[in-house]
Structure 1
Amino acid sequence: MTIYEKIDRCHEAIGAVRPFEGHMLEQLKDYYRIGLTWSSNAIEGNTLTINETKVVLEDGLTIAGRPLRDFYETVGHGKAYNFMFTLIGNRRISTADIKAMHRLFYKEIDEENAGVWRKEPVVVSGTDYVFPHPDELEKRMMELDAWITNERGKYHPVTFAGLLHLKFVNIHPFIDGNGRTSRLIMNLALIQDGYQLAIVPPVLRAEYNDTIRQYQIKGTSKPFCDFIAERVYETQKEIMRLFHIPLPELK
Structure 2
Amino acid sequence: MSMNHKIETLLSLLDEYKALGIAEQIDYNKFYLYSLITHSTAIEGSTVTEIENQLLFDEGITAKGRSLQEQMMNLDLKAAYEQSMKLAKAHADFSVDMLKGLSALVMKNTGGEYNTASGSFDSSKGELRLLGVTAGVGGSSYMNFRKVPAKLEEFCQYINSQRKELLSTDDAISKYRLSFEAHYQLVTIHPWVDGNGRMSRLVMNHLQYEFGLIPSKVVKDDKAEYIQSLMDAREQETLFPFYEFMFDEHIQNISKEIEAYKKSQAADLIKPVSDPINDISDPITERLYQAILKNNKLNYAEYGALLGVSEATIKRRLGELRKVGMIVRMGSNKSGYWEVVSLKDRKEEKV
- Normalising by the smaller structure, the TM-score range is 0.7 to 0.9
Aligned residue type for 2:105: L
Change in 2 beyond 3 A, CA 1:94/1:6:
farther
Q: Deviations over 1:187-217 (max 9, x none)?
A: 1111211211111111111100000001111
- CA offset at residue 61 of structure 1? 3.0
Do the aligned residues in 2 keep the contact of 1:196 with 1:232 (CA within 8 Å)?
A: no
The whole-number CA distance in structure 2 between the counterparts of 1:98 and 1:70 is: 23
Which residue does the alignment assign to 1:137? 148
Other structure's SS at 1:87 match: helix
- CA offset at residue 183 of structure 1? 0.4
- CA offset at residue 235 of structure 1? 4.4
Do the aligned residues in 1 keep the contact of 2:183 with 2:201 (CA within 8 Å)?
A: yes
The whole-number CA distance in structure 1 between the counterparts of 2:81 and 2:32 is: 9
Change in 2 beyond 3 A, CA 1:25/1:170:
farther
Do the aligned residues in 2 keep the contact of 1:199 with 1:232 (CA within 8 Å)?
A: yes
- CA offset at residue 57 of structure 1? 1.8
* TM alignment of 1:78-93, pairs within 5 A: 78-89=78-89, 90=91, 92-93=93-94
Which residue does the alignment assign to 1:125? 136
Which residue does the alignment assign to 2:10? 7
- CA offset at residue 40 of structure 1? 0.8
Aligned residue type for 1:211: S
Is residue 180 of structure 1 aligned with residue 190 of structure 2?
no
User: Larger Cα Rg: Structure 1 or Structure 2?
Assistant: 2
Change in 2 beyond 3 A, CA 1:192/1:127:
farther
Change in 2 beyond 3 A, CA 1:194/1:240:
farther
Do the aligned residues in 2 keep the contact of 1:129 with 1:217 (CA within 8 Å)?
A: no
The whole-number CA distance in structure 1 between the counterparts of 2:261 and 2:63 is: 33
Change in 2 beyond 3 A, CA 1:130/1:192:
same
Identify which of 168, 175, 178 aligns with 1:160: 178
Which structure has the higher relative contact order (CA within 8 Å, separation 6+)? 1
Which residue does the alignment assign to 1:148? 159
Which residue does the alignment assign to 1:45? 45
Q: RMSD of the alignment, in Å?
A: 2.6
Count of residues paired in the alignment: 241
The whole-number CA distance in structure 2 between the counterparts of 1:40 and 1:9 is: 26
TM-score, structure 2 as length reference: 0.62
- CA offset at residue 239 of structure 1? 5.7
> For structure 2, which runs of at least 5 residues remain unmatched after alignment?
113-121, 167-172, 263-351
The whole-number CA distance in structure 2 between the counterparts of 1:242 and 1:193 is: 25
The whole-number CA distance in structure 1 between the counterparts of 2:150 and 2:255 is: 40
Change in 2 beyond 3 A, CA 1:47/1:235:
closer
Do the aligned residues in 2 keep the contact of 1:127 with 1:213 (CA within 8 Å)?
A: no
Other structure's SS at 2:109 match: coil
Other structure's SS at 1:156 match: helix
Is residue 228 of structure 1 aligned with residue 246 of structure 2?
yes
Which residue does the alignment assign to 2:123? 113
Change in 2 beyond 3 A, CA 1:187/1:127:
farther
Flag as ranges the 4+ runs of structure 1 deviating above 6 A: none
Other structure's SS at 1:107 match: coil
Is residue 27 of structure 1 aligned with residue 6 of structure 2?
no
Deviates more, 1:186-195 or 1:234-243: 234-243
Identical residues among aligned pairs (%) = 22
Change in 2 beyond 3 A, CA 1:183/1:91:
same
TM-score, structure 1 as length reference: 0.84
Q: Deviations over 1:19-59 (max 9, x none)?
A: x6xxx487222111221111111111112233222222222
The whole-number CA distance in structure 2 between the counterparts of 1:227 and 1:74 is: 25
